[in-house]
Amino acid sequence: MSFEHAPVSKGLMLTCAATSIIAGIFDVKHYLHLQLIPHISRHYQYWRLFAHHLAFSNSSDLLVAELILWNVGVHIERQFGSIKYASFAVVSTLLATIFEFVGLLLFHRIGLNHISSGPSSLVFSILYQYFRIVPSAYQFRIFGVHLSNKTFMYILASQLVLGHLPGSAASAIIGILTGQIYRSELANLKAYRISPAVVGFSTRFLLPLIGSTRPPRRLNRALPDEARTILDQEENEEVITTARPSATASEPRGRTGGPATGGTGGSVVREWVNELTGRTERENAGIRVPNEAEITQLTSMFPDLPRQTVIGALQRRYVVSFRHIYSVSSSISDS
């Protein structure tokens, strides 16, 4: 997995990590704490309603949130698209801020006086979209309980729920509620998109800071796995076929241990295949060596390529075609 087609998730992860580390270095975490009494009711510090989304209070919460954003947020952004995903993050954060303030006003008498710092509500809103949109890759059972590969993300998210009770549980519930409201037709929130001016500014100035992510490098093997397995077996032992054994130029031994005399000669097709694919030379040298005429012909076509590169290309061509030719020859000899 990579951040290909997921620049918003990458920027969100980098921002959360940077703000949390900076807040810890400069010892300003107490400014990012949201508490109804005395911050809101006595000192009227309403800016804390938005500031507490910027950074997590400890490194363990930051690590769990980063893992969830990496394994969940990238999938959701690829499903939504970057612009819709960024709009969803803005709407979820605004709704979560309103619900957190209302929740503190309604439930502060029963113990809910603070909300955990960090964008936990946004993380759980993204996790709800993951629950509804992304299908499970596989399922399994433990002691009769049906589970899937998505269960591991839910177990990981439970660490954020149980971290700072009751405020962490309130953030999780508000995040799930926000995700449900976004997916519903209430107020048509899914149709909202951030303005083109913000998109243009982010593309021009913020995206170069984040950096573009290339897709992961895929292996460019010259041999498929099946052909490589066949070649490895042939280097170690003789291939077992259903064709009758016959005497060849190398005079294979008969049952009594001496040279076989019952045959009239080797199989013409098999000798042709062995010569074409270089099987005899590969038994001695490990791989077929192309002749000088082939090397000269290919070098004249591509004069800029080194000689070793040309030889390697010819060897790979013969090895790749070996599996098909050998299978055809075996079927002809058996018939």
137 three-state secondary structure: coil
Residue 2 lies in a domain: no
Q: Which of the four pLDDT bands, split at 50, 70 and 90, describes residue 30?
A: confident
The boundaries of the domain holding residue 60 are 7-210
pLDDT mean over 147-161: 94
Query: For residue 232, what pLDDT is reported?
Result: 54
Is residue 16, in this structure, part of any structural domain at all? yes
Does residue 11 lie in a domain region? yes
Query: Of the candidates 210, 238, 264, which is a domain's last residue?
Result: 210
- Could you tell me if 321 and 180 lie in one domain? no
Query: Does residue 72 lie in a domain region?
Result: yes
* Same domain as 163, residue 31: yes
> Are both 48 and 184 inside the same structural domain?
yes
* pLDDT at res. 245: 47
In a domain, 232, yes or no: yes
Shared domain for 85 and 230, answered yes or no, is no
Ranges 5-9, 126-130, 200-204, 240-244: which has the least confidence: 240-244
pLDDT one-digit tens code per residue, 83-131: 999 999 999 999 999 999 999 999 988 888 999 899 999 999 999 999 9
Q: What is the mean pLDDT of residues 307-328?
A: 65
Model pLDDT, residue 275: 61
Residue 98 shares a structural domain with residue 195: yes
**Which of 152, 181, 210 is where one domain is finished?**
210
Residues 184, 75 within the same domain: yes
In-domain check, residue 219:
no
168 lies in the same domain as 284: no
Residues 179 and 257 in one domain: no
* CB of 169 closer than 8 Å to CB of 100: no
Which range in 174-178, 236-240, 328-332 is most confidently predicted, on average pLDDT?
174-178
Q: Say if residue 239 is exposed, middle or buried (CB neighbours under 10 Å; 0-12, 13-18, 19+).
A: exposed
Domain total in the chain:
2
Alpha-helical regions (H) of the chain: 7-25, 48-51, 59-68, 74-80, 82-107, 120-133, 151-161, 167-183, 196-201, 207-210, 225-236, 268-277, 279-285, 292-301, 307-334
**Whether residues 58 and 168 fall in one domain:** yes
Q: Are residues 66 and 196 in the same domain?
A: yes
pLDDT at res. 154: 95
Is residue 172 situated within a structural domain?
yes
Say whether both 263 and 159 belong to one domain.
no
Same domain, 185 and 244: no
What CATH code is carried by the domain that includes residue 86?
1.20.1540.10
* CB 9, CB 80: distance < 8 Å: no
The pLDDT of residue 271 is 65
